Structure 1
Amino acid sequence: MKTVTLRSPGGLDQLSISDRATPGEPAAGEIRVALHGSSLNYHDLGIVTGNMPSDDGRIPLADGAGVVESVGAGVTEFAVGDMVVSCFFPDWQDGTPTIGDFSRTPGDGIDGFAREQVVLPATAFTHAPKGYDAVEAAAITTAGLTAWRALIVDGKLKAGDTVLLLGTGGVSIWALQIAKLMGATVAITSSSDEKLARAEAMGADFTLNYREDPEWGQKVLDWAGRGVDHVVEVGGPGTLAQSIKAVRVGGHISLIGVLTGASGEVPTAALMSKQARLQGLIVGSRREQQDFVRALETSGIKPVVDRRFPLDQLADAFRMQQGGEHFGKIGIEW
């Protein structure tokens, strides 16, 4: 089977394709999946560029979706022919968070899904949403579930709430779709007027170019009146101060990303005066993914996939991601 591996110390020129033996029949509790799609996340980019070191020869990509080819003894949840999608934390099945690292995350601590077939425990997958192809299904594993947990699981989003989204990457565009589905009012930022126009066409109620308005937190505060109820904060230390300014007293900030750095100053006095809940999160559990899948099937929404690349052009796909050209997700399809 075709397989992509990453040689240490990382770098896009260290990605290589080879043929490996097809995995055998699944053991008890396992399934064999013919993989057909993935999508890129900034976590994946950190791995392949060497900024988040992984083992030599690691198979990258945290997201994977495909069709069940065979099932091991005792597996009743899946049948041959089912479309399934992977879980970011295959060992976190349900309940409150118990995992704070990536030692068992595909594409990081264990091999990921940049390959044609895989045998894994059935509990490492959920059913894909009905009507989704493999790339669309793979887009829910990391970005989609992160947005769902931020707004629905942790944020308890309700109709009439106001939401601030930063940028137009995978998490933010998923969050836009989820927020509008729930009847929320949405503000979104970007450095691209073209991308802001696309977000507005998807239902964004207030758009703001943060390069033209560096004090965008105040602009969002003024727009919302008392401030927004929820912020999906994907930037990190470089944007957190503005997000705190934009949130209402008693509001909720989901700290998800570190696009502007892994550490930095936190305006603690401002956060305290806002009495806001600042909550870090990393994706979600298998049970939360199953809930998300049901919501997607009920709503009929699908992820925004900007462009699809074949598996043997994975490095080119990452180059597009590095350039920030994409709107929504970048898909890998084979």
Structure 2
Amino acid sequence: MSRQWILASQEGFETSLQYQDNLPLPSATSLSPNSVLVKLHAASLNYREIQIADPNGLNGPIQTPLIPGCDGAGTVLAVGSSVTEFHPGDRVITYPAPLLASSHGDDAPASFAHVSAMLGQGADGTLRSVGVFAETALVHAPASLDWLSAATLPCNWTTAWNVLFGGGPTKVTNPVAPGSWVLVQGTGGLSVAVLQLAVAAGAIVVATTSTPAKEERLKALGATHTVNYATHPDTWGQLARGLTPSGRGFDIVVDVGGNQTLPQSLAAVRVDGLVAMVGAVGDMAAAPVPLFAAFMHTCVVRGVLCGSRAQLKQLVRYIDEKGIQPAVDDVVFELAEAKDAYRRLNEKRHIAKVVIRVDHPEEVEG
């Protein structure tokens, strides 16, 4: 039998998330030609899951019931007749935008036009023990990672890869390289992913945080310096800038807070540096920052939403080559505890990625 969570409505996760067990397993014999049957071993959460369940979230309305989650890792059980990339027994991770890859190819960049069709929003996601996915919703998992670590990669780590190594004109003027200065914000999954990738590339990383305990964790992950934004709410951008050579500013600033943090990000970036806008976890009521501010700081501002399927494959190879071990939160949840995992993420009590172990000894692999 199989188990899963569904969003039965869109009234916030506390009300909308419902657990279902003792469900019949999907049939391997009824797979469509381009589908893959996967036994999921682990999943991880992104802040987008909170927003998708929220009727006032940025992601907009969804059709319910829907299985949430876009990050997962598992083993292929069976494949459809036209599937060529995967075989039973393969270790795989999910790619969040399968419709984009199937219609525009592996190199197509993700945009908000494709968000509504992503896993966990427009298609059933990963908070289940066994699921059927499109071939383009999967890539081979890194050989060097366990299931929990592998399950952190699809959304946050692909976005981080896109920021530091991705396409667009910023790749020419602002590539991450040995000696680059990179500023990340907080200890969430995306910020930690950028930190770990940038350190592996030889960059010097400064991280903001709010507590001494988290400062130590960030330094253990490779941050050279930390700045406490709680004690310096209006000046942390300038304080961080002062850590760079001659106070010139950062080559890359990764902004996860949106309007609340953008003024400080702009204060921290160097002339011709890059501010990568990758999230909006800050105060949604903060005053909008006009785009004209980029002119005043003579910098590049780039919006980044996940990445292409090809970039996820590149990331997998890089992780295996560099021996990177993605950080995960100290608390590991079981699938039946997914609502508690949502709470930990929503209350920002986590460090790095909130992960969920999906394996269950009573499940049948057939």
Q: TM-score range, shorter-chain basis?
A: over 0.9
Moved over 4 A (4+): 267-270
- DSSP 3-state at the match of 2:258: coil
What is the CA–CA distance in structure 1 between the aligned matches of 2:313 and 2:287, rounded to whole Å?
Answer: 35
278-287 vs 75-84, which deviates more? Answer: 75-84
Q: In 1, are the aligned partners of 2:110 and 2:306 still within 8 Å (CA)?
A: no
Among the aligned pairs, what percent are the same residue?
A: 37
- Alignment partner, residue 22 of structure 1: 25
- Alignment partner, residue 148 of structure 2: 135
The unaligned stretches of length 5 or more in structure 1 are none
73-82 vs 298-307, which deviates more? Answer: 73-82
- DSSP 3-state at the match of 1:223: coil
Matches within 5 A, 1:171-186: 171-186=190-205
What is the CA–CA distance in structure 1 between the aligned matches of 2:248 and 2:39, rounded to whole Å?
Answer: 51
- Aligned with 1:279 (options 277, 291, 302): 302
- Aligned with 2:15 (options 6, 13, 16): 13
- Alignment partner, residue 97 of structure 1: 109
Matches within 5 A, 1:78-89: 78-89=86-97
What is the CA–CA distance in structure 1 between the aligned matches of 2:50 and 2:25, rounded to whole Å?
Answer: 27
315-324 vs 46-55, which deviates more? Answer: 46-55
The answer as to 2:352 corresponding to 1:328 is: yes
Cα 1:317–1:272 change in 2 (3 A) is: same
The answer as to 2:120 corresponding to 1:107 is: yes
What is the CA–CA distance in structure 2 between the aligned matches of 1:273 and 1:103, rounded to whole Å?
Answer: 34
What is the CA–CA distance in structure 2 between the aligned matches of 1:61 and 1:98, rounded to whole Å?
Answer: 17
Q: In 2, are the aligned partners of 1:10 and 1:47 still within 8 Å (CA)?
A: no
- DSSP 3-state at the match of 1:324: coil
- Report how far residue 157 of structure 1 moved: 1.0
What is the CA–CA distance in structure 2 between the aligned matches of 1:204 and 1:9, rounded to whole Å?
Answer: 38
- One-letter code of the match for 1:288? Q
Q: In 2, are the aligned partners of 1:38 and 1:139 still within 8 Å (CA)?
A: yes
What is the CA–CA distance in structure 2 between the aligned matches of 1:117 and 1:70, rounded to whole Å?
Answer: 11
Matches within 5 A, 1:143-222: 143-154=156-167, 155=171, 156-214=175-233, 215-222=235-242
- Report how far residue 62 of structure 1 moved: 1.2
What is the CA–CA distance in structure 2 between the aligned matches of 1:327 and 1:62, rounded to whole Å?
Answer: 19
What is the CA–CA distance in structure 2 between the aligned matches of 1:71 and 1:55, rounded to whole Å?
Answer: 27
The answer as to 2:252 corresponding to 1:252 is: no
Cα 1:75–1:270 change in 2 (3 A) is: closer
What is the CA–CA distance in structure 1 between the aligned matches of 2:47 and 2:133, rounded to whole Å?
Answer: 24
Root mean square deviation, CA, Å: 1.7
The unaligned stretches of length 5 or more in structure 2 are 359-366
129-138 vs 323-332, which deviates more? Answer: 129-138
- Report how far residue 299 of structure 1 moved: 0.9
The answer as to 2:248 corresponding to 1:226 is: yes
- Alignment partner, residue 50 of structure 2: 45
Cα 1:315–1:51 change in 2 (3 A) is: farther
176-185 vs 111-120, which deviates more? Answer: 111-120
What is the CA–CA distance in structure 2 between the aligned matches of 1:70 and 1:191, rounded to whole Å?
Answer: 47
Q: In 2, are the aligned partners of 1:90 and 1:123 still within 8 Å (CA)?
A: yes
- Alignment partner, residue 324 of structure 2: 301
Q: In 2, are the aligned partners of 1:13 and 1:315 still within 8 Å (CA)?
A: no
Superposition TM-score, scaled by structure 1 size: 0.95
- Report how far residue 123 of structure 1 moved: 1.6
- Alignment partner, residue 339 of structure 2: 315
- Report how far residue 97 of structure 1 moved: 2.5
- Report how far residue 8 of structure 1 moved: 1.5
- DSSP 3-state at the match of 2:311: helix
Superposition TM-score, scaled by structure 2 size: 0.87
- One-letter code of the match for 2:266? I
Q: How many residues align?
A: 334
- Aligned with 1:290 (options 308, 313, 320): 313
- Report how far residue 269 of structure 1 moved: 5.1
